[in-house]
Amino acid sequence: MGIFDERVVVITGAARGLGRDYARYFAQDGASVVLADVKDTAAAAAEVAAASPSGAHCRGLAVDVTSRASVEAMARQVREEFGRLDVLINNAGLWRGLADAKLLNCPDEIWDAAWGVNVTGSLRCFQAAVPLMAERGWGRIVNISSMASRSGSDAYGLTKSTVENMTRGMAKEAGPFGVTVNCIAPGISAFEAAGSQLANADAVVAGNVIKRFGTSRDLYAAMTYLCQPSGDWVTGQVLRVDGGAGLA
């Protein structure tokens, strides 16, 4: 028995990185998983299915979360193929290079892309997911912010602080349908993918209470709490999973 047996989980931004890891863990815990990404997800979906002990039902879907039509097509496909949706992980996000784009000279294309994917993309997926979840009166949505949400000095931090604030509004609107909406704010996780991109990686770890980078497992542990029935009374919250970033 897996903790997510029978559940259908959609993870956006699952072609690579943390999203791909979450897909693997959910499948290993019994879920059917839809890996949605603007990049090709065929390889990731095959790998996730192969790594799952029960041969989980996995589907890779080409989805651009910034496009209403694309997200609505995803929801239709999920209904047709799986008949239900239980969990949405709003993981698709742009971050590489964004923290360097400070406000005064932030290029329009970086500003627009950051808001489009990180904020509008999460909103679009929320809008498409809640009606599907409402059909069964139960659902879980987890938005993904960042430790950078405390920074008001770049496009990335600003979009992520909006994701946290939006989580509270989403929770209020989705609650009557039996759907909780929470947010995980990771510290720097999966060093190969993230830390190696940072010039100040050592300084970031030094600022953590727990002196290491995070792992996708650390973040998934928080997700499992929020997405199981035991999390039924937790909504509108931001859970910082960051080794105590900034407290040291």
Ligand X SMILES: NC(=O)c1ccc[n+]([C@@H]2O[C@H](COP(=O)([O-])OP(=O)(O)OC[C@H]3O[C@@H](n4cnc5c(N)ncnc54)[C@H](O)[C@@H]3O)[C@@H](O)[C@H]2O)c1
Q: Which residue is nearest to ligand X (CB)?
A: 93
**CB closer to ligand X, 12 vs 235:** 12
Region near ligand X per CB under 6 A, out of 14-22, 101-109, 174-182, 233-241: 14-22
Alpha-carbon distance 155 to 106, whole Å? 8
Binding mask 59-98 for ligand X (x = CB under 6 A): ----xxxx------------------------xxxxxx--
| Interface with ligand X, residue 166, by CB under 6 A | no
Query: Burial, 49: exposed, middle or buried (Cβ in 10 Å; 0-12, 13-18, 19+)?
Result: buried
Give catalytic status of residue 156 as yes or no.
Answer: yes
* Candidates 33-41, 48-56, 126-134, 174-182; binding stretch for ligand X (CB under 6 A): 33-41
Tokens representing 135 are: 């059909």
Compute the distance between CA of residue 152 and CA of residue 161 in angstroms, rounded to an integer: 8
Closest to ligand X by CB, 138 or 191: 191
The count of other CB atoms within 10 Å of the CB of residue 100 is: 12
Instruction: Residue 86: name the closest of 184, 11, 188 by CA.
Output: 11
**Which CB, 82 or 213, lies closer to ligand X?**
213
In whole angstroms, the minimum distance from the beta carbon of 137 to ligand X comes to 28
Q: Shortest gap between Cβ of 81 and ligand X (angstroms)?
A: 19
Which 185-214 positions form the footprint of ligand X (CB under 6 A)? 186, 188-190, 193-194
Any residues with CB less than 8 A from the CB of 230 and at least 6 apart, and which? none
DSSP character string of 96-123: TTGGG-BSTT--HHHHHHHIIIIIIIHH
**Could you give the C-alpha distances from 220 to 115, 142, 174, 200, 233, in angstroms and in order?**
25, 11, 23, 25, 19
CB-nearer residue toward ligand X: 53 or 221: 221
- The residues of the shown chain that bind ligand X, judged by CB under 6 A, are 12-13, 15-19, 37-39, 63-66, 91-96, 117, 121, 144, 146, 186, 188-190, 193-194
Kindly list the catalytic residues.
Answer: 156
